[in-house]
Structure formats: structure tokens, C-alpha cells
Amino acid sequence: MKTRLSFLLGSLSAALVAFALTSPRVVAADKVDPVADAKAFRNYFFQKFPDVKHEDFVNGPYSMNADMKRQWLEKEEFPPYEFALDAGKEMFSTPFKNGKTYADCFPNGGIGIRQNYPYFDGKEGKVVTLELALNRCREANGEQPYSYVKDEMASLTAYMAFTSRGKPMDIKIPDDPRALEAFENGKRYFYTRRGQLNFSCASCHVQSPGERIRAEILAPALGILNAMPIYRSEWSGMGTISRRFITCNSQTRAVPLEPQSDEYRDVEYFLSYVANGLPIAGPGARP
Amino acid sequence: MTAIPCKPAILVALALSASAAGAQAQSTVADGRKLAFDRGKGNCLTCHVIKGGDLPGTIGPELKDLKTKYPDRNDLTAIIYDETKRNPQTMMPPFGRNRILTEQEISAIVDFLQTL
């Protein structure tokens, strides 16, 4: 009886010790840690491509291939996004019917602030992207919102990115469980396989950047939003971040979400945060 | 006596069915090749180098000597059907499981791959 009791106690304490030893690790794995995630994310790319300068990752496929980079630098002399940039500048300075302008809706009159988007809005409890903020500005001033996937929106963000070129991405995650949840949700979306082709965003842009799918070179996920919006030759036009996400989903035969749905906003939050420190390079040009 | 006229008939029938089988095999190889290059179907060329295909992708290994590598066609079929079973990290879409290709189409592609 006594031996059995001591055996029981012994195994109980062994179990407790085992629990005490393993539980901190379990907690660590469960904890949302954006700082550690961002560091691991960046290091993965830096180690995979030791010859690519860190600030060069924002140039997407051009950072992966010297020939393409040369072609691109030549193209940049007459950039295909220039018409959108001019249109955006014009739109930005044209007052709404009520006499106000976009500048009234943004810090610093909207100039040089692209690197702070998206941000977590504590009042709304959600991520607010630049595209969303622009349409909210329009609606607050009695104007119709623009399509998230068409030229007007891309022109506006092109201009705002241009005034922010070179500034390091600077996304904040406030000490708010909802902000951490948004980051985690975006991360989950990014790594989850979906659609008939069974790809996650990461399948192409983490596992296979620099590889070719037919003639196209896959862009690294690191800094992929820093060059947005982009002129894509494949689209014969400009594309917003919303358009990019939707196209990625439909090309992998997944069901695209609504532009600016919570999940897309969260993915943008995740991807932008892990690119903190890399320069804004938008508007960009891509094949 | 009755057996004699039958003989040529059997031979003709055998010859006919043999050439039909040959033609059928050839046509499944041609079908498989078409499916392998078709962007809406196998689209193998997007990720693999295949002899005779322009602008191949680089994600997967070159598709050659497959008969040596996979003497049992079932192994090749299984990879196309759902490679995630063997390698959960693979990029390769599960063509059979997700009904991107029918079993018949996969079989035609395997016929084509075995000629590489």
C-alpha cells in the first residue's frame, strides 16, 4: 500500500515536472510574436538570397534575375506607370465638390505617409489600409467610392507612394489583442493552402521566389507590397493591392474575397509589417 | 476442313485488333502530350522542363527518363493524382484529388511521360 502510494506520488510529481518543463514551450509557440516572426521571415530571405541587397527585395522579380533587372532599369527611363502618377497627382490636388481635398483626410496632408499603411485602428478594432482610407475620405466628403481594382484608386495610391519613396516601411502593432489577432489572422491566411491548385501565398512567394513559372519569375514575399501599386504589362494597366490579391486567388483557382475584406486587410498588415525597414518603392512596374 | 477458313479470319482479326491497340496507344500519347502542355489542364510545362516545350518553368524537376525512374506506371499516376501524400510540402497540385484532371486524362499523361 505504502509502496503503491509513493509510486503514485512519484509518477504524479514526474508528470508535474514534465508539465512544468513542456508548458513554457507550448505557451511560447501559442503566443503571437510579430517581432520574432518578422525577424525569422526576413532572415529566411536574406539567407536564401545572400547576394541580394536587402533594400532590393522590394523590386520583386527584378531582384532575382540580373537580365530582367537590366531590362527593367531601361524601362524605368520611360516608366509605364507615369500616366497614373500624373493622373494621381492631379486627382489628389483637385478639391471635392465640398471644397475639401484628400489632404484634409490624412496626416501631413497625405504626403510621405505611405510607409505607415496599413495601420491598426483602435476605435474600429480593425486594420485600415491606404486604399480603404482613401475611399472613406471620399465618402466622408460626399463622393462616391472608387472601385478598389481600377485605375483611379491605383493612380491615387501611386501618387501617395511616390511622395514616400525611399522611406522605410514602418508598420506598428499596438499592444492590443485585436491587433495581434489581425496580424496572426493575416499570417494564417498567407500560409494556408486553398483553391483547386492547392497553393498558399507562401507556396509561390516563400518556397519558390526566383523560380520561373513558364516565362514569369516569382517575386519574393518580402517587400512585395512596398512597390505597390504596380503597372503590369500582363494587365496592360495599373493594379492596386486589392487587385493583386484577387488575381493571385483566381490564378490559383481559389475563390477571391471581396476587396478590402477583413482577411485581405489582415494579409496586408502581416506582409507590410514583416517588410518593416525596407523602402517604399511604389509605383512599380512588373512584367 | 471447317477450321481452315477460320484461320485467316482469326489472323485478320488479330492483326486488326493489334493495329487498333497500337493506334490507340499512339493517340493517348498524343492526347497526354496535349494535356501536359495545355494551360487549362495539366500545364506541366509551367513548372517542368519537357522536351519539345517552349519556355518551361523551373520549379519541378525536368521530366525525362521517367520510365527508368518509375518503372511502375502506378507510381507516376500516384504522383500526379496527389503528390502531397508523399511530400506534404510539395508545390505540385493534386490533379486527381482536386479533379483538375480525370483518371483517363491522368492515364494519357502517364502514357506521354513514359515516352520521355
Using an 8 Å Cβ cutoff, are A88 and A157 in contact? yes
pLDDT at residue A187, rounded to an integer: 98
Domain assignment present for residue B3? The answer is: no
Alpha-carbon torsion A287, A81, A268, A139, what sign? negative
pLDDT at residue B1, rounded to an integer: 41
The alpha-carbon gap from A201 to the nearest alpha carbon of chain B, in Å, equals 11
Q: In angstroms, what is the C-alpha Rg of chain A?
A: 23
Domain assignment present for residue B6? The answer is: no
Which residue range(s) make up the domain with B24? Answer: 11-113
- The length of chain A in residues reads 287
Counting residues of chain B whose pLDDT is more than 90, the rounded percentage is 76
Give A145-172 pLDDT, tens digit per residue: 999 999 999 999 999 999 999 999 999 9
pLDDT at residue B17, rounded to an integer: 52
Q: Is the Cβ pair A214, B56 closer than 8 Å?
A: yes
Dig out the grid coordinates for B111 from the structure: 502514357
Q: Is the Cβ pair B91, A208 closer than 8 Å?
A: yes
How far is it, in rounded angstroms, from Cα B30 to Cα B39?
A: 16
pLDDT at residue A25, rounded to an integer: 45
Average pLDDT, chain B: 86
How big is the A-B interface in CB pairs under 8 Å?
36
In which element (H, E) is residue A135 found? Answer: helix A130-140
Q: In the structure, what pLDDT confidence band is assigned to residue A67 with cuts at 50, 70 and 90? A: confident
* Chain A residues whose beta carbon lies within 8 Å of the beta carbon of residue B90: none
Domain assignment present for residue B54? The answer is: yes
pLDDT at residue A2, rounded to an integer: 46
Q: Measured between CB atoms, which of B45, B57, B99 is closest to A211?
A: B57
Position B18 pLDDT exceeds 80: no
Q: In the structure, what pLDDT confidence band is assigned to residue A65 with cuts at 50, 70 and 90? A: confident
How far is it, in rounded angstroms, from Cα B73 to Cα A285?
A: 45
pLDDT at residue A282, rounded to an integer: 94
pLDDT at residue A20, rounded to an integer: 44
Position B24 pLDDT exceeds 70: no
Give me the interface pTM, i.e. the ipTM: 0.80
Q: Is the Cβ pair B93, A197 closer than 8 Å?
A: yes
Of the listed ranges A69-83, A127-141, A176-190, A210-224, the one predicted with least confidence: A69-83
Report, as an integer, the average pLDDT of B45-57.
94
Q: In the structure, what pLDDT confidence band is assigned to residue A22 with cuts at 50, 70 and 90? A: very low
Domain assignment present for residue B88? The answer is: yes
Q: In the structure, what pLDDT confidence band is assigned to residue A135 with cuts at 50, 70 and 90? A: very high
Give A231-266 pLDDT, tens digit per residue: 998 889 999 999 999 999 999 999 999 999 999 999
* Chain B residues whose beta carbon lies within 8 Å of the beta carbon of residue A198: 84, 93-94, 98
- Residues 60 through 79 of chain B touching chain A, CB cutoff 8 Å: none
* Chain A residues whose beta carbon lies within 8 Å of the beta carbon of residue B94: 198
* Chain B residues whose beta carbon lies within 8 Å of the beta carbon of residue A213: 46-47, 57, 59
Domain assignment present for residue B4? The answer is: no
How far is it, in rounded angstroms, from Cα A269 to Cα A172?
A: 9
Closest residue on chain A to B39 (Cα): A214
pLDDT, greater one: B32 or A11: B32
Average pLDDT, chain A: 90
How far is it, in rounded angstroms, from Cα B77 to Cα B4?
A: 45
CB contact A255 to B (< 8 Å): no
Position B14 pLDDT exceeds 60: no
Pairing of strands A216-217, A212-213: antiparallel
Give B53-70 pLDDT, tens digit per residue: 999 999 999 999 999 999
**DSSP one-letter code for A280:** P
Domain assignment present for residue B65? The answer is: yes
How far is it, in rounded angstroms, from Cα A27 to Cα A211?
A: 37
In terms of average pLDDT, the best of A9-13, A212-216, B76-80 is: B76-80
pLDDT at residue A13, rounded to an integer: 47
Report, as an integer, the average pLDDT of A55-71.
88
CATH number of the CATH domain containing B36: 1.10.760.10
- Residues 178 through 197 of chain A touching chain B, CB cutoff 8 Å: 196-197
Give B82-106 pLDDT, tens digit per residue: 999 999 999 999 999 999 999 999 9
Closest residue on chain B to A253 (Cα): B100
Domain assignment present for residue B1? The answer is: no
pLDDT at residue B73, rounded to an integer: 95
* Chain A residues whose beta carbon lies within 8 Å of the beta carbon of residue B99: 196
Closest of A220, A224, A250, A253 to residue A235, by C-alpha: A250
Domain assignment present for residue B57? The answer is: yes
Dig out the grid coordinates for A91 from the structure: 486627382
Q: Measured between CB atoms, which of A197, A199, A215 is closest to B55?
A: A215
pLDDT at residue A21, rounded to an integer: 44
Closest of A224, A270, A272 to residue A248, by C-alpha: A224
* Chain B residues whose beta carbon lies within 8 Å of the beta carbon of residue A203: 91
Position A78 pLDDT exceeds 90: no
CB contact A65 to B (< 8 Å): no
pLDDT at residue A23, rounded to an integer: 44
- The length of chain B in residues reads 116
Position B4 pLDDT exceeds 50: no
What is the count of structural domains for chain B?
1
Report, as an integer, the average pLDDT of A71-100.
92
- Supply the DSSP string of A43-96, one letter for each residue: HHHHHH-TTS-GGGGGGGGGGT-HHHHHHHHHHTTS-TTHHHHHHHHHHHHS--
pLDDT at residue A29, rounded to an integer: 53
- Residues 203 through 242 of chain A touching chain B, CB cutoff 8 Å: 203-204, 207-208, 211-215
The alpha-carbon gap from B57 to the nearest alpha carbon of chain A, in Å, equals 4
Q: Which long-range contacts (CB under 8 A, 24 or more apart) does B80-85 make?
A: B80/B42, B80/B106, B80/B109, B80/B110, B81/B106, B84/A198
